Amino acid sequence: MDRRDFLKTSLAAGSALALGACADGSRSHDGTLATRVHPKSGDRVSLLGFGNIDELDQPSFNQLVDYALEHGVNYFDTRPGQSEEATAAALLRHPREQYFIATRFPRQDGNQSLKEGQEMLDRSLSLFRTDHIDYLVLEELDSPEAFQARFLDNGLLKWLLEQRESGRIRNLGFSFHGPKEAFDGLMALHERWDFVQIQLNYLDWKHASLVASQPGLRLADAEYLYEELVRRDIPVIAMEPLLGGRLAQLPQGPAMRLKSRAPERSTASWAYRFCGSFPRVLTIVSGMPYLEQLQDDIQSLSDFRPLSEKELAFLEETARQILLFPIIPCTDCQYCMPCPYGLDIPGIFAHHNRCINEDNIPQDAMSPEYRKARRNYLVSYEREIPGRRQAGYCIGCGECAIHCPQGINIPVQMRKIDNYTEKLRKNV
Partner 1 sequence: MMIGALALALPMEALAQKAEGGLVPIHIREQTRRNLPLVPAGSLSVDNFITRCTACGLCISKCPENVLRPSTSLASLLQPTMSFERGWCRPECTLCSEVCPTGAITRVTPEQKTAIRIGHAVWMKDFCLPYSEGTDCGNCARHCPGAAIKMVRAGDLEFTGKGPADPMIRVPLIDENRCIGCGACEHYCPSEPMAAIYIEGHPRQNEH
- Nearest Cα neighbor of 48 from 327, 229, 276 is 276
The secondary structure of 293-341 as a DSSP string is HHHHHHHHTBT--PPPHHHHHHHHHHHHHHTTS---------TTPSPTT
Task: Decide: is 388 part of the binding site for partner 1 (CB under 8 A).
Answer: yes
Near partner 1 by CB under 8 A: residue from 44, 162, 396, 423: 396
Near partner 1 by CB under 8 A: residue from 199, 344, 352, 373: 344
The site map against partner 1 for 98-117 (x = CB under 8 A) is --------xxxx--------
Task: Decide: is 384 part of the binding site for partner 1 (CB under 8 A).
Answer: no
Residues 6 or more apart whose CB falls under 8 angstroms from that of 276 comprise 34, 47, 284, 301, 304, 306
Omega before residue 338 within 30° of 0, cis: yes
Give how many residues touch partner 1 by CB under 8 A: 35
Task: Decide: is 426 part of the binding site for partner 1 (CB under 8 A).
Answer: yes
Task: Decide: is 252 part of the binding site for partner 1 (CB under 8 A).
Answer: no
Task: For partner 1, give the closer residue by CB, 256 or 397.
Answer: 397
Task: For partner 1, give the closer residue by CB, 93 or 388.
Answer: 388
Please return the burial class of 229, using the count of CB atoms within 10 Å of its CB with bins 0-12, 13-18 and 19+: buried
- 45-56 in b/e form (b: 16+ CB < 10 A) is bbbbbbbbbeeb
Q: Which of residues 136-195 bind partner 1 (CB under 8 A)?
A: none
Minimum distance from CB of 406 to partner 1 (Å)? 14
Task: Decide: is 338 part of the binding site for partner 1 (CB under 8 A).
Answer: yes
Q: Hey, how many other C-beta atoms are within 10 angstroms of the C-beta on 183?
A: 24
Minimum distance from CB of 110 to partner 1 (Å)? 9
Near partner 1 by CB under 8 A: residue from 29, 259, 389, 416: 389
**Region of 172 on the Ramachandran plot (φ > 0 left; ψ -120 to 50 alpha; else beta):** beta
Task: Decide: is 77 part of the binding site for partner 1 (CB under 8 A).
Answer: no
Question: 261 pairs with which residues across the strands?
Answer: none
- Nearest Cα neighbor of 323 from 205, 187, 233, 166 is 205
Q: Reduced to 3 states, what is the DSSP secondary structure of residue 157?
A: helix
Q: Which of residues 51-70 bind partner 1 (CB under 8 A)?
A: 54-55
Which among 3-11, 196-204, 331-339, 368-376 is the span making contact with partner 1, rule CB under 8 A? 331-339
Task: For partner 1, give the closer residue by CB, 139 or 194.
Answer: 139
| Site residues (vs partner 1, CB under 8 A) | 54-55, 81-82, 106-109, 334-342, 344, 386-389, 392-397, 399, 403, 415, 422, 425-426, 428
